[in-house]
Structure 1
Amino acid sequence: MRTHLENGTWVNEPANWEVSADHLTMTTDQKTDFWQKTHYGFARDSGHFLGVSVSEEFTARVRVQGEFRSLYDQAGLMLRIDETRWIKTGVEFTDGERFLSTVVTNGNSDWSVSQPFQGLEDFIIRITLKNGAARIQASSDGKVWPLLRLAPFPSADRYLVGPTACTPERGGLNVRFSDFDVGEAIKSDLHDLSV
């Protein structure tokens, strides 16, 4: 089912954004980020996130388009309980290349990156929350869905899920999100990448 981002709630609303029934565009503000402590020692909760409320198991997905060129430019999906319990996943520019990145935070953040396919300026990302675990997958064509991460995630009465973007080293990244939907959790086998 299509879920309208017009009903979403901002965490750190950017100065420039526009939302309609079928897409969200935003431009990141200066030095925005989500991170908790690990390695760097700092805690940041200044990234942009437009979340819709969900209260049961689900799969959320969104198409992401942008020109990611500067260190740590990032955009994708966030699943959030509060400032210390969240997941962000999507594209991130690091070491001179675009990667698919996932940060799982439960008090402290971790970080993993992969490159299962090229073309990371236009892709689809999805999160399935089911049985206490977040299953994170991405696709370049909507047909093949490589697994990026399977991670435990705390239980809560309510979650927020939706598009996120950050630029820790700059501002001015333009991102377009479209085809956002939240529906029943997919039931396919973990190793079935075709659904």
Structure 2
Amino acid sequence: MQDLENGVWHNKPTRFDHSDGSLHVVTDEQTDFWRETHYGFTRDNGHFLGVETADGFTAQLRVRATFEHLYDQAGLMVRIDERNWLKAGLEFSDGQALLGSVLTVDRSDWATGPFAGNPMDFWMRVSLADGVLRLQASQDGKHWPLVRLCPFPRSARYRVGPMCCTPERAGLSVRFSDWSLTPHLGKPLHDLG
């Protein structure tokens, strides 16, 4: 397992700390990941700590944060470059924390919906192999319903790890823990374990 302390920052936050097996981040002002769709702009200044891996992996982590302002977000990212990435987690929108994912292959989409669990303490998992990405979310780190299944560009190397940003402000405090990066779990699609 690759430790997060071996990760490489894309837009290192001003305030972060590794301690007690956790990564604590406080977001800088007006940070985001987005490419063109609907809003017409491109932003690539969100905080992402990426651990390098080859194809055929599963990564998961626990996220704790208090989402309060429009577009506050934290979760997990898989990235090849500025034009090919996926971010997923909870995002504050329409007055509540929603489970969402943004797949970007030249342009960003946005898929979102309600999250039945505690929005201040949740888990994310991504599995990627042979150009297919499977995204799951969990309330307890044990039961993993499907969030998204999609094609994802093939690459010899990927970066995967925690992501957070605050397009409308600064100061979202996020604690990431229980990180793991393993070979692809290879579970059937409806195995929720």
TM-score (norm 1): 0.96
Instruction: Report the secondary structure of 1:6's partner residue.
Output: helix
Separation in structure 1 between the aligned mates of residue 116 and residue 189 of structure 2, nearest angstrom: 19
C-alpha displacement of 1:115: 2.1
C-alpha displacement of 1:155: 0.6
Aligned to 1:71: 70
For residues 188 and 116 of structure 1, do their structure 2 counterparts lie closer, same or farther at Cα, with a shift above 3 Å needed?
A: farther
Q: Any conservation in 2 of the 1:4–1:22 contact (CA below 8 Å)?
A: no
- For residues 1-195 of structure 1, the aligned pairs below 5 Å read 1=1, 3-20=2-19, 22-193=21-192, 195=193
Separation in structure 1 between the aligned mates of residue 94 and residue 115 of structure 2, nearest angstrom: 17
CA RMSD of aligned residues (A): 1.0
Q: Any conservation in 2 of the 1:124–1:138 contact (CA below 8 Å)?
A: yes
Instruction: Report the secondary structure of 1:59's partner residue.
Output: strand
Following TM superposition, the consecutive aligned residue runs of length 4 or more in structure 1 with deviations greater than 4 angstroms are none
Give CA deviations for 1:142-189 in whole Å, capped at 9, x if unaligned: 221111101110011110000000000000000000011100111221
Instruction: Report the secondary structure of 1:157's partner residue.
Output: coil
Separation in structure 2 between the aligned mates of residue 82 and residue 21 of structure 1, nearest angstrom: 31
Q: Any conservation in 1 of the 2:63–2:121 contact (CA below 8 Å)?
A: yes
The code of the aligned residue for 1:39 comes to H
Separation in structure 2 between the aligned mates of residue 140 and residue 180 of structure 1, nearest angstrom: 15
Separation in structure 2 between the aligned mates of residue 116 and residue 172 of structure 1, nearest angstrom: 23
Separation in structure 2 between the aligned mates of residue 88 and residue 177 of structure 1, nearest angstrom: 15
Separation in structure 2 between the aligned mates of residue 156 and residue 115 of structure 1, nearest angstrom: 32
The code of the aligned residue for 2:11 comes to N
Q: Any conservation in 1 of the 2:55–2:155 contact (CA below 8 Å)?
A: no
The code of the aligned residue for 1:90 comes to G
Instruction: Report the secondary structure of 2:5's partner residue.
Output: helix
C-alpha displacement of 1:138: 0.5
Q: Any conservation in 2 of the 1:64–1:123 contact (CA below 8 Å)?
A: yes
Question: How many aligned positions are there?
Answer: 193
Q: Any conservation in 1 of the 2:123–2:139 contact (CA below 8 Å)?
A: yes
TM-score (norm 2): 0.97
C-alpha displacement of 1:20: 3.7
Instruction: Report the secondary structure of 1:39's partner residue.
Output: coil
Separation in structure 2 between the aligned mates of residue 162 and residue 116 of structure 1, nearest angstrom: 21
For residues 21 and 5 of structure 1, do their structure 2 counterparts lie closer, same or farther at Cα, with a shift above 3 Å needed?
A: farther
C-alpha displacement of 1:116: 4.3
Give CA deviations for 1:12-54 in whole Å, capped at 9, x if unaligned: 0000001247110010000000000000000000000000000
The answer for unaligned runs of 5 or more in structure 2 is none
